[in-house]
Amino acid sequence: MTSHVVTGMGVVAPNGFGVDDYWTASCGGRNGIGRITRFDSQGYPAELAGEVPGFNAEDHLPSRLIPQTDRMTQLALVGAEHALADAGVSTADMPEFGMGVVTASTCGGFEFGQRELQNLWSKGGQYVSAYQSFAWFYAVNTGQISIRHGMRGPSGVLVSDQAGGLDAIAQARRLVRDGSDLILSGGVDASICSWGWAAQLAGGRLSTGEHPERAYLPFDPAADGHVPGEGGALLIIENAEAARRRGATRVYGEICGYGSTFDPKPDSGREPALRTAIEVALDDAGLAPDEIDVVFADAAAIPELDRVEATAITEVFEPHKVPVTAPKTMTGRLGSGAAPLDVAAAFLSMRSGLIPPTTNVTPSPEYAIDLVTTRPRRASVNAAVVLARGHGGFNSAIVVRSTNWN
């Protein structure tokens, strides 16, 4: 049976640029949420976001790429470069059709699209960039990464809101199973602009809290919506034997299980389907619930949705039996980038023996979960479950575990 190992990771997050910086920040409780700086948010009901600070694309990318890419894609290109370097991969030395790219996106390049539409309305069509034809598109991260690195194998994009990041990783796993040597996968989103903000506000799930430490509070009695953010993570997923042949010296772990479901129609009388997604993922991994050492929660911070998630966790793992955490309270929900970032955090937990905390949250007693809060918890982590849900009923779960690499 093919083993699907993660050999490299690239992280661009509001509280950490790069794997080590992100992990230090997460275990240290460093908050990346603050007042929006990317546009004038005064007058909007929500004014907090998780922004990647100090990122200047010109410092990282060739000048020819800047005018044809949205901030989302610029972050993704840097994340991809970091992931490949972390894995020790030189794409020039590998078969181009043996490598592919599968990413997820929630909205595409909103900021680029907003700018070009403003040019259209205020100046006329001749002022609209030709790059608008693709720079806004959901698949643009996949395309730009594959072009830049010559990765011409099976590729694609998944669009299922926050669940999409896990769905992309699962698709990468399938492609490796079907014969690809290496797939770069995950998600990076960035829509902190007035058009993107209006679209997110329309969903009715944004926190209107004014204080960064008290705005995004999943499983807390004061939960009243989430704080959006930008960034995410990209992973290098390889066939274990192919990784050995190219001389990989280190792996983070293995993607070993996946399950996805879709919630029934509201008011149908049927139960939400998140529990089933978890059970399918565990069955796919061949692991029992008591073999899981931590669950990384979706953490919607909407009381009804928190209740659904807590119920699913307690029904599968029993009340208070497995540690649960949501380090995204330090970054905001990063769209399709959130769950891949949690997958990265799960592997880093295995490496360090630490479970990062869910900061600023005081758990409500109505949720019978063992939520890790305040500070990181020391633990031996060999297997983890990562959960993600997308607006409209998407549920996804991935199981990851450690693996020996000698």
Which residue in the block uniquely carries the two structure tokens 């029934």? 264
Query: In the prediction, which pLDDT does 2 show?
Result: 56
Query: In the prediction, which pLDDT does 26 show?
Result: 98
Query: Distance (Å, rounded) from C-alpha 99 to C-alpha 238?
Result: 9
Query: Distance (Å, rounded) from C-alpha 11 to C-alpha 19?
Result: 5
Query: Which residues have a Cβ under 8 Å from the Cβ of 342 and sit 6 or more positions away?
Result: 296, 327, 328, 386, 388
Query: Which residues have a Cβ under 8 Å from the Cβ of 50 and sit 6 or more positions away?
Result: 13, 14, 15, 32, 33, 34, 227, 228, 229, 230, 231, 330, 331, 332, 334
Tokens of 93: 């030395």
Among 5, 46, 35, 10, which Cα is nearest to 241's?
5
Query: In the prediction, which pLDDT does 406 show?
Result: 67
Mean pLDDT for the chain? 95
Among 79, 80, 254, which Cα is nearest to 173's?
254
Query: In the prediction, which pLDDT does 41 show?
Result: 92
Which residue in the block uniquely carries the two structure tokens 């966790």? 313
Helix (H, G, I), strand (E, B) or coil at 189: strand
Q: Radius of gyration of the chain from Cα atoms?
A: 20
Residue 150 — φ and ψ, nearest 5°?
A: 65, 35
Query: Distance (Å, rounded) from C-alpha 172 to C-alpha 180?
Result: 9
Query: In the prediction, which pLDDT does 269 show?
Result: 80
Give the pairing type, strands 323-325 and 294-296: parallel
Indicate the angle between helix axes 303-317 and 274-285, nearest 10 degrees.
40
What's the burial of 246, exposed, middle or buried (CB within 10 Å: 0-12/13-18/19+)?
middle
Task: Give the type of residue at 274.
Answer: L
Among 203, 196, 251, which Cα is nearest to 226's?
203
Helix (H, G, I), strand (E, B) or coil at 233: strand
Among 186, 191, 194, which Cα is nearest to 158's?
186
Helix (H, G, I), strand (E, B) or coil at 389: strand
Q: Which residues, listed in sequence order, are joined to residue 34 by a DSSP beta bridge?
A: 49
Total length of the chain? 406
Helix (H, G, I), strand (E, B) or coil at 281: helix
Query: In tens digits, what is the pLDDT along the chain, a chain of 406 residues?
Result: 458 999 999 999 999 999 999 999 999 999 999 999 999 999 999 999 999 999 999 999 999 999 999 999 999 999 999 999 999 999 999 999 999 999 999 988 989 898 988 889 999 999 988 888 888 999 999 999 999 999 999 999 999 999 999 999 999 999 999 999 999 999 999 999 999 999 999 999 999 999 999 999 999 999 999 999 999 999 999 999 999 999 998 999 999 999 999 999 888 888 999 999 999 999 999 999 999 999 999 999 999 999 999 999 999 999 999 999 999 999 999 999 999 999 999 999 999 999 999 999 999 999 999 999 999 999 999 999 999 999 989 999 999 999 987 6
